[in-house]
Amino acid sequence: MNNGCLENRKKEHDNSQKRPKSYKFGSKSDDFALAIAKVAVAQLCESVGFQGFHLSALETLSDISVRYIYSIGKTANLSANLAGRVEGNVFDIIHGLEDLGSNLGFSGASDVDRCVVSSGVVKDITHFVGVSDFIPFAYDVSGFPVVKESTKTGSFWEKEEVPPGEHIPSWLPAFPDPETYATRLSVENETMGVSNGKKTESELERVERTMDRSLLNLQLRFAHNENKGGSSHGSGYVATESNPYLAAPLHVGEKEVSPVVLPTKLSNEVALRNPVHVDVGNHVSVLETFAPAIEAMKSGLCDSDNGKKKLLYDQRPTVRFKIGIGKKSLGTISDFGSQNEEDLLKIASWFGNDNEKDDKKRRVEKILKESVESSKE
């Protein structure tokens, strides 16, 4: 017994390398077909006389029956291909059956000049059909696997379009709508043929309209940004129609935009360091930029009225860029009204959040000194 077990284990180890071969019928994609096979095999076993079965035995037998079908098909296909045919016929199947039954043997197997038509295999099957009872399959099986209908992109010929260019045959799929590549439309205009002229004009108008619409929606979205209401639904829906990222870029002066306010000190330093001309609409002093903030602080650091909030949002909020100036405090904060140290610290924290704690402390000290000096004056 021990020797037998060892041999079995060796066989399993050797044959485990062949595992991938059998995976064809063990994969999850085949579960449905295997389940149907199990039902059919169970019905057959019941007709033979069995009253029950072990699950492993049923699975084994159904797997083998499925492989039987597969191997018949493979052999039949092979013999059809050898004969130079793509489709199989009854003789190919009989050849396949003979191959599979050759180890058991069938009547007439040893005849040299036997005809396939009078094969013993067929006779056996005929006899079997005559003898066996009619057992229909237990369930209604629809055709599987269900083939997904592919969305056919029409060819030029089908869409009755003339392909742009002689080198493109008409049976190729047509180009996508120009809306999807709207930015390049101006370049395309030159390359497209005369026949497409009218079409491109109407499409251009359509594109422009969609662009305007998308821009409007963008504006609306920014305006409603603070409300955080459900109005974003509407703008979002429109945005999906036309991609704003693919809209043509705006030229300077096309759209009225609130001016970007730079602190004067920053802008001056930038101008000194970089010879690039900074195009800022208005040079606004530091005081004016921080006027709303100062007012807010006067009323109280925490509370702010709605009116003042509106004041704040009339102007575009300042965008703080790090232009590589270094760790310097932002401007003179000498005109702040509040005297409390806590408030000053809070103000300092507004301007020094991203620096290290040491710098923060230094700044706080600086601010304190300056405010004290100014108050003295």
- What residues from 64 to 93 belong to the interface with another protein (CB under 8 A)? 64-77, 80, 86-90, 92-93
Dihedral pair phi/psi, residue 240, rounded to 5°: -70, -25
Please, which residue, 38 or 363, has the CB nearer to another protein? 38
Contact range with another protein by CB under 8 A, out of 31-39, 249-257, 286-294, 361-369: 31-39
Please, which residue, 3 or 240, has the CB nearer to another protein? 3
Please, which residue, 124 or 269, has the CB nearer to another protein? 124
Please, which residue, 36 or 368, has the CB nearer to another protein? 36
Dihedral pair phi/psi, residue 155, rounded to 5°: -80, 170
CA dist 368 and 334 (Å) reads 10
Please name which of 295, 290, 284 lies closest in space to residue 261, comparing C-alpha atoms.
Answer: 284
CB of 13 to another protein, least distance (A): 11
Measured CA to CA in angstroms, residue 237 lies from 213, 218, 230 at distances of: 12, 12, 12
Please, which residue, 122 or 312, has the CB nearer to another protein? 122
Contact range with another protein by CB under 8 A, out of 39-47, 229-237, 274-282, 352-360: 39-47
Q: Quick one: DSSP state of residue 230?
A: T
| Contacts to another protein from residues 100-119, by CB under 8 A | 103-104, 115, 117-118
Binding residues for another protein, rule CB under 8 A, total 79
Dihedral pair phi/psi, residue 173, rounded to 5°: -60, 145
Name which position in 2, 3, 20, 54 contacts another protein (CB under 8 A): 54
Measured CA to CA in angstroms, residue 142 lies from 26, 32, 38, 145 at distances of: 22, 12, 17, 9
CB of 69 to another protein, least distance (A): 4
* 22 interacts with another protein by CB under 8 A: yes
Name which position in 124, 161, 188, 343 contacts another protein (CB under 8 A): 124
Length of the chain: 377
| Contacts to another protein from residues 245-264, by CB under 8 A | none
Question: End-to-end distance of the chain based on CA atoms, in angstroms?
Answer: 108
Please, which residue, 76 or 207, has the CB nearer to another protein? 76
CB of 52 to another protein, least distance (A): 4
Measured CA to CA in angstroms, residue 17 lies from 21, 71, 98 at distances of: 9, 21, 30
Tell me if 76 sits within 8 A of 96, measured CB to CB.
Answer: yes
Please name which of 201, 206, 168 lies closest in space to residue 186, comparing C-alpha atoms.
Answer: 201
CA dist 359 and 327 (Å) reads 8
CB of 55 to another protein, least distance (A): 7
Name which position in 3, 21, 149, 165 contacts another protein (CB under 8 A): 21
CB of 114 to another protein, least distance (A): 10
Please, which residue, 86 or 272, has the CB nearer to another protein? 86
Tell me if 203 sits within 8 A of 180, measured CB to CB.
Answer: no
Please, which residue, 84 or 253, has the CB nearer to another protein? 84
| Contacts to another protein from residues 127-166, by CB under 8 A | 128-129, 132, 134-137, 141-145
Could you check whether the bond before residue 145 is cis, i.e. omega within 30 degrees of 0? yes
Q: Quick one: DSSP state of residue 153?
A: P
Measured CA to CA in angstroms, residue 51 lies from 35, 59, 132, 201 at distances of: 20, 16, 18, 79
CB of 150 to another protein, least distance (A): 18
Name which position in 108, 109, 122, 280 contacts another protein (CB under 8 A): 122
CB of 63 to another protein, least distance (A): 7
**Helix, strand or coil, per DSSP, at residue 173:** strand
* 12 interacts with another protein by CB under 8 A: yes
CB of 109 to another protein, least distance (A): 14
